[in-house]
Chains A and B, each alone.
Chain A
């Protein structure tokens, strides 16, 4: 059991609770319940910044392209993207498949939730600014180009389920052991861990806060997109990060498709 911070649907305030990271039970206010007995809300309310091209497997797959137009050379600084407020979604809530789109890429990601305002932090102190860890399902409409921000592909309503809770950093296993598994309809389709990151998250925190401030509640997230599954309407996507939790969402067709 780990101390977590969470939000339930219909309640404005975050709650502290004790949870089984394997996703079975959660103890809220002295009452123990199964996770699926509660209605969840995303446990964060800040900005969500994704670090792109951090997955070594993705980087290797792209390494030839990076020397050709339009990229010309590999990036030197951090490549970031944003999941704005409209994308934030919660555990066990549907993700709507936009009209005319058959498949979404569901990339699992580890979210670092900022605890203290972080500007110009040093790598050695970087984790002091992190409150805890959560899970992000970084959904996008599959796309190859990385020259321009992929806003239309990444920023759709509900395209960033987050949760189910934040595990406080002190309660979580060491970063290196946060193995992630993705199941689609119960079948294991992807397994990855932070050894695939091109550089440690502490270094990214230093590189990013060198020019922009992160505020409490903001999330800097790190995905494993290289072998992330494509999912279709009706699929149940389950992302487990060992010692953190289980985030599950159903892909649902957008309502009212026929009318438009």
Chain B
């Protein structure tokens, strides 16, 4: 099952993508996907993100792989839907995308064992967690000015249920800038797997349905500029399009 949230005809409604660029709204109406405004497919209470969760990306940023998951939180101000725009601040030197598999929690989760982790997952979507590296400072790094900017975390286009995705640890991720592949990786290369992360996180905090975990990004972070079209693609999930302004 795939589920999107869109604004259409003055209302917000859930929708399901069909082929041929059409989508079916929850009330049965079928519209062209260009007629709707895509919204983030979930309104999370809590968003947790992972830093350096792929060994090759950690190496690229000259870090050794962490021994424990590096977690940070994000606010809902950061989210923007499929085909949205993200601002590159004036005068910065390095802003890069990060294509990430996003896990959407389906049940209240506390002290979940890795073996049961998938029972607590509703589904998956795609995140593009931009970072403005000029603002990096060495306190609670990555600090909020790098990672918590308004509309700098495109999310979507839709959630695909766990059943439909199958094994989330066997998916290819790719990012395209203006059509050229700039980043490629496999979720199987995560340092901390999704079941491990769910056990680790819920050992000390409770997750609620709709909470989202962004599971980190592989190697291949390059600078993006205004007017770039950035597409984050994950196998079996879809393609999340974003424009830099």
A positions within 8 Å CB-CB of B: 47, 49, 52-53, 70-73, 75-82, 84-87, 98, 119, 146-152, 155-157, 211-215
**B135 and A77 form a contact (CB under 8 A):** yes
**A47 and B205 form a contact (CB under 8 A):** no
Tell me, yes or no, whether B228 is within 8 Å of chain A by CB. no
**A82 and B73 form a contact (CB under 8 A):** yes
**A146 and B139 form a contact (CB under 8 A):** yes
Residues on the B chain within 8 Å of A53, using CB: 139
Contact (A86, B205) CB under 8 Å given A148-B70, A151-B72: yes
Give residues of chain B (72-94) contacting chain A, Cβ–Cβ below 8 Å. 72-73, 75-78, 89
Tell me, yes or no, whether B45 is within 8 Å of chain A by CB. yes
Residue of A nearest to B110 (CB): A157
Residues on the B chain within 8 Å of A77, using CB: 135, 137, 143, 145
Complexed CA–CA distance, A53 and B70 (Å): 21
Determine how close the nearest CB of chain B comes to the CB of A198; give it in whole angstroms: 13
B positions within 8 Å CB-CB of A: 45-46, 48, 70-73, 75-78, 89, 110, 135, 137-141, 143-145, 148-150, 204-208
Residues on the A chain within 8 Å of B148, using CB: 80, 211-212
Residues on the A chain within 8 Å of B137, using CB: 75-77, 79
**B46 and A84 form a contact (CB under 8 A):** yes
Contact (A155, B141) CB under 8 Å given A84-B46, A212-B150: no
**B205 and A155 form a contact (CB under 8 A):** yes
Determine how close the nearest CB of chain B comes to the CB of A21; give it in whole angstroms: 30
**A81 and B140 form a contact (CB under 8 A):** yes
Report, nearest first, the 7 A-B pairs whose CB atoms are least far apart. Answer: A82-B73, A84-B46, A80-B144, A213-B77, A151-B71, A149-B72, A79-B139
**A152 and B204 form a contact (CB under 8 A):** yes
Other-chain contact of B71, A149, A156, A157, A212 (Cβ < 8 Å): A149
Complexed CA–CA distance, A178 and B65 (Å): 45
Residue of B nearest to A71 (CB): B138
Residue among A49, A52, A53, A152 with the most chain B CB within 10 A?
A152
Other-chain contact of B150, A79, A82, A85, A213 (Cβ < 8 Å): A213
Other-chain contact of A85, B46, B138, B140 (Cβ < 8 Å): B46
A-B contact pairs, 30 of them (CB 8 A): A49-B75, A49-B144, A52-B139, A52-B140, A72-B138, A76-B137, A79-B137, A80-B140, A80-B148, A81-B140, A84-B73, A85-B45, A86-B208, A147-B140, A148-B70, A149-B70, A149-B73, A149-B141, A150-B140, A151-B48, A151-B73, A155-B205, A156-B204, A156-B205, A157-B206, A211-B149, A212-B148, A213-B77, A215-B76, A215-B77
Sample of 17 further A-B pairs with CB below 8 A, known A49-B75, A151-B73:
A75-B139, A79-B144, A84-B46, A86-B207, A98-B204, A146-B140, A148-B140, A148-B141, A149-B70, A149-B71, A151-B71, A155-B204, A156-B205, A212-B77, A212-B148, A213-B77, A214-B77
Residues on the A chain within 8 Å of B141, using CB: 147-149
